[in-house]
Structure 1
């Protein structure tokens, strides 16, 4: 750190870093000039003057003025300038210049999300180009990218349901699983919505941290429970499986899990009886969630964006401030200039400079 008497403290770069705790004190500096002007204006008629004729002497001095004489005549302003600078530095010190360094620490417990995606043969329909499954896969990956501090898992289902990825914060691994989804992964035909919900519930009700969970510590597990939600995406009615979807939705509600259902596909391109919006609406209502219909890729994106806005974990922000004061530097400068002015005023130099 530079010594207080260094000119380093008057560099523009240094002043740009300052935050003034009491900036009103700086606005008083122009008032010092006003006081000097009033003192001069009110005291100019009170001075004693001796009028003598020195016309010829003045003409000779004007003709013989040297640069040294002109510089010497400017020394009469040394006293008022010292007073002005001294008081100005005291006001700067009063304004309390400081450099504030902030550090933000954002903490969020996150939430648990299970994605249940239908991979039956009907997901190859091209009403959502290039097909329903590809559109769902792309939008789900974008949804994963938008999440932070959340544990996300993946369940796939057709005539049977399988847990493809446990709850994890390894989004790279999860997106790799999503990218590999295809309709040949489950050979059993049908749509087992109830079994898919049961797989999701089993994954989220288990308090044990999985090996893929890279962020949740033991201290976090002992704390408050995380919010849990299931996003189920399908284009068909429940035609297979061992568990009724309504029963599974009631189980989800019993475990405080919200359930969002998305029906994929255009009604005009789906054969009668293959999509039952009623069951998807029913289980969404039972699961304290919402039902959505995605008729194209853009509407599917809007649905996931809407869910993304609804389901946000609270973020706790802590701001740490490192405050370094520099008022002492300018206080020392102010005292030095005022002492200099006092020295000039109370010695022979003061009279010489005023003459």
Structure 2
């Protein structure tokens, strides 16, 4: 027993605590009439909404906000971690939420920056999704991008849609109608370049999903890990029993019982 006690038996439990410092993300979504084109299923807007919801539900501890725009911009949701609320808001987005026609990219970026101006997050990101050139609003997109860069906001831009003839509605006989679509990438490319982010071109549903997956990988929150070791000694019971047996042996050493054992 004493020998076992001297070996100092122990039991160690290791605890790991993880702390995630989230980032702030502003989703900026174009809801202009051209987003109703059907080169995506069922159209560009619905495909973007579905992918945005998957992106939202894939984040952990990140605050996410939402801006929608056409000829004007509107802040749909402030930065929040209530992903269920965000999902409901994205599902509720429709084309008739705004009367102003056109595509006000500069105004949309400015609105998103305004929502993020008090953010203290180490990483601030905006994801701008549009299918058109800036043709409305009173804010120049390049100026808005420079303002974002000054505030350390990276703007990932996604150009949605195909060039050429794309389906839009059906004719009297139920056959798909085709209209010409042209996408000017220059504005979106400039915004991404100025803010040191990336530009993407999405030509179908799968490409759009892959782009959001890549942005998700690029903008991962930092995970801080702390490890604690809790060690418990178990030598005391063995030492106590060893001492007890030793004194018992000493007490019985000169007794009849000990002599009987020796004989």
- When normalised by structure 1's length, the TM-score is 0.63
1:336-355 equivalent positions in 2, closer than 5 A? 336-339=244-247, 353=261
Aligned pairs for 1:1-355 within 5 A = 86=1, 90-91=3-4, 94-98=7-11, 100=13, 102=15, 104-206=16-118, 225-270=121-166, 274-339=182-247, 353=261
* 1:44-79 Cα deviation digits (max 9, x unpaired): xxxxxxxxxxxxxxxxxxxxxxxxxxxxxxxxxxxx
Q: Helix, strand or coil for the counterpart of 1:276? A: coil
**Could you tell me whether the CA contact under 8 Å between 1:93 and 1:328 is conserved in 2?**
no
Aligned Cα root-mean-square deviation (Å): 2.6
Q: Structure 1 stretches of 5 or more lacking a match?
A: 1-85, 208-220
CA 1:166 to 1:354, structure 2 compared with 1: closer, same or farther past 3 Å? Answer: same
Residue 323 of structure 1, CA deviation: 3.9
Task: Name the CA distance, whole Å, in 2 between partners of 1:153 and 1:342.
Answer: 79
Whole-angstrom distance in 2 between the partners of 1:238 and 1:155: 16
CA distance in 1, matches of 2:38, 2:259: 100
Contact 1:237-1:274 at 8 Å conserved across structures: no
Inter-CA distance 269–91: structure 2 relative to 1 (3 Å threshold) = farther
Q: Which has the higher helix share?
A: 1
CA deviation map 1:214-237 (0-9, x unaligned): xxxxxxx6xxx5321110011112
Partners of 1:269 and 1:258 lie apart in 2 by 33
- Which TM-score applies when normalising by structure 2? 0.83
1:284 Cα shift?
0.7
In 2 relative to 1, CA 153–340 (structure 1 residues): closer, same or farther, beyond 3 Å? same
1:138 Cα shift?
Answer: 1.4
C-alpha distance in 2, partners of 1:276/1:299?
18
2:241 & 2:255 partners in 1: Cα distance? 21
Aligned residue pair count: 251
Seen in structure 2, the aligned counterparts of structure 1 residues 118 and 91 have a Cα distance that, compared at 3 Å, is: same
| Alpha carbons 1:166, 1:203 under 8 Å: kept | yes
Counterpart secondary structure, 2:18 = strand
**Greater RCO structure (CA 8 Å; 6+ sep):** 2
| Structure 1 Cα separation of the partners of residues 202 and 65 of structure 2 | 22
User: Partners in 1 of 2:197 and 2:220 — Cα distance?
Assistant: 14
Measured after TM superposition, the shift of residue 306 of structure 1 is 1.2
Partner SS, residue 184 of structure 1: helix
Which whole-Å CA distance do the structure 2 matches of 1:267 and 1:335 have between them?
Answer: 90
Which structure: larger Rg? Answer: 1
CA distance in 1 between partners of 2:180 and 2:194 (Å): 25
Q: CA deviation at 1:273?
A: 6.2
Deviation at 1:240, TM superposition (A): 1.5
Aligned-partner SS, 1:238:
coil
1:193/1:351 CA distance change after superposition, 3 Å: same
> How many angstroms apart in 2 are the aligned matches of 1:274 and 1:263?
11
Q: Quick check: which one's strand share is greater?
A: 2
